[in-house]
A and B are shown apart, each in its own frame.
Chain A
Amino acid sequence: EPEVTQTPSHQVTQMGQEVILRCVPISNHLYFYWYRQILGQKVEFLVSFYNNEISEKSEIFDDQFSVERPDGSNFTLKIRSTKLEDSAMYFCASTPSVSRYGYTFGSGTRLTVV
């Protein structure tokens, strides 16, 4: 079964530091996403990415956030200057062209900002 792989599984960082979360989507998928889940809250959409550009982003995805697909396999989320409220589980997901049938999520990166 193809998987979405995320690294690291846990990241602790000091407030104000930059972090990069990494994802390897399923190889033949075309759409890539980042979602986050703050403890006890709903899963929230951050950004979708298609054809090497952002196709949609939420109000959460401000100038502190950026995404990149630096090569043919990796998909990264960068937070430039982390805040305490950025502490959450961050999930990467990918879909083939017809995404209404379901997403494949990675196991997530637990980010703790101290």
Chain B
Amino acid sequence: TQLLEQSPQFLSIQEGENLTVYCNSSSVFSSLQWYRQEPGEGPVLLVTVVTGGEVKKLKRLTFQFGDARKDSSLHITAAQPGDTGLYLCAGFNAGNNRKLIWGLGTSLAVNP
């Protein structure tokens, strides 16, 4: 069974601070997708990392895929209250199995 563990589960920080959240697995994935989910809404795709060691930047968000394609991290620089939300990682494997394997998420609160 493939599992994705996200840490920390909850994070409360002040505006302007930096933070890193992690997504770890013992399994290899073809890609890892990061989503952000607001209460009562569906997950919204932020970025997909595909190549081992890949780094992608989305404004103040930096995503990294581990060399072995088993883990990923999300770093936010100078967090703002608008970054508040649930950050989910989801692993994808191709072939007959197209379903996403989800982590439980990191719930981030950025206080003004």
Is the Cβ of B102 less than 8 Å from the Cβ of A58? no
* Cβ-defined contact, A108 with B50, below 8 A: no
Cβ of B98 and Cβ of A55 under 8 Å apart? Answer: yes
Kindly state the interface size class of chain A when it binds its partner.
20 to 34
On whether the beta carbons of B94 and A43 are closer than 8 Å, the reply is no
Q: How many residues of chain B have a CB within 8 Å of chain A?
A: 25
B59 contacts chain A at the CB level, 8 A cutoff? no
B11 sits at the interface (CB 8 A): no
Beta-carbon nearest neighbor of A50 in chain B: B98
A residues 86-114 near B (Cβ < 8 Å) are: 89, 91, 93, 99-108, 110
Contacts of A107 in B (CB 8 A): 40-42
Specify the chain A residue showing the minimal Cβ separation from B102: A43
Residues of B with C-beta under 8 A to A41: 104
Asked whether A100 and B43 contact (CB < 8 A) given A43-B90, A56-B97, the answer is: no
A65 beta carbon closer than 8 Å to chain B: no
Q: Is the CB of B31 within 8 A of A43?
A: no
B99 touches A105 (CB 8 A): no
Q: Does A56 contact B40, Cβ atoms closer than 8 Å?
A: no
- The answer on a CB contact under 8 Å between B98 and A56 is yes
* 3 closest cross-chain pairs (CB), A and B: A105-B42, A45-B99, A102-B45
A-B contact list, 30 entries, CB within 8 Å? A4-B42, A6-B42, A42-B102, A42-B103, A43-B43, A43-B88, A43-B90, A43-B102, A45-B99, A55-B96, A56-B96, A56-B97, A56-B98, A56-B99, A58-B99, A100-B30, A100-B31, A100-B50, A101-B31, A101-B50, A102-B33, A102-B45, A102-B48, A103-B33, A103-B45, A103-B100, A104-B45, A106-B42, A108-B41, A108-B42
Q: Apart from A4-B42, A102-B45, A107-B42, list 15 A-B contacts with CB within 8 A.
A: A33-B99, A35-B100, A42-B102, A43-B43, A43-B100, A48-B98, A56-B96, A100-B31, A101-B50, A104-B45, A105-B42, A105-B45, A107-B40, A107-B41, A108-B40
